Structure 1
Amino acid sequence: MTVHLGYINWIMLSQLFKALNILFVLSATAAQMYPFDSKIDQTRYYHLISQVRCLVCQNESIGDSNAKLAEDLRAMIYTDIIAGKSDQQIITYLKSRYGHFVSYEPPFNWSTLLIWLAPIPLALLTFFIFKHL
């Protein structure tokens, strides 16, 4: 009994197309998970989930994360938007509940002074080093 190589390649190719089709369907389903009445609310939702940092993942937004907490926060943001809350109200709640770490824009205060001011001497030092090379 001889198996032709072309037949095996055809089977492998058909399996690949099935897998790609499943991935396409799953991604389309995920995109429609939260239906919105208006395009503005949908835009606000995607903007907010890209601006809120995942507390479980390392430097990943909750929009990009698959962590359970990120899923819960996405659902909460969706519910708040549907309820009519403003972006500022949602962000303020998240900061009061989880701290300023949820924001990619830390406030300018004593605890974050190093984050804000460190780039200045580092840039000057880099300029000085390259000037004298």
Structure 2
Amino acid sequence: MIKLLLALVFAIISFSTIAKSNPITEAFVADVKRAAETDGAIQKSIDIVCPAPSASGTFLLTEANYEFGKSKGTYVFKEGKGPNAKLDWIGAKTQDDDFSSEELDGYEFGFTMPNGQFFLTVNKTGKIKAGVNVNGTSGVKEVNCKLSSQ
């Protein structure tokens, strides 16, 4: 009985450790932070797959800057599902959205499209969300996505 209990505790601890880290998104978030806090230069891309195929695509980032309009990047939608979206801003995503927290969880990216805005959230844990807002409407419709390599 004790062995079974110890095995169960070990499995829970192992799962929680695995769930807290994704090497690809963790490196991506670290590289964005490094670039945004120095000269801005970065050459990174990630491929994203969403349940809504129209949100799937490749995010190309060439400059990271916390100042609005200074970041450079593009979201290229898969299979020509729409015009590319131009990156407008990046924002640091902190633990529990607590701006006083020094723990960085990931980044939010805002893109401009002809009839609205596209949003992408990349957390270092591997959690990725894509969202859209159509001009003239309120709210953002989000879907959970993943890296295409997962």
For the criterion TM > 0.5, the same-fold answer is no
Q: Which has the higher strand share?
A: 2
Q: Which has the higher helix share?
A: 1
- Normalised by the length of structure 2, the TM-score is 0.33
| Greater RCO, 1 or 2 (C-alpha within 8 Å, sep 6+) | 2
- Normalised by the length of structure 1, the TM-score is 0.36
Q: Which has the larger radius of gyration?
A: 1
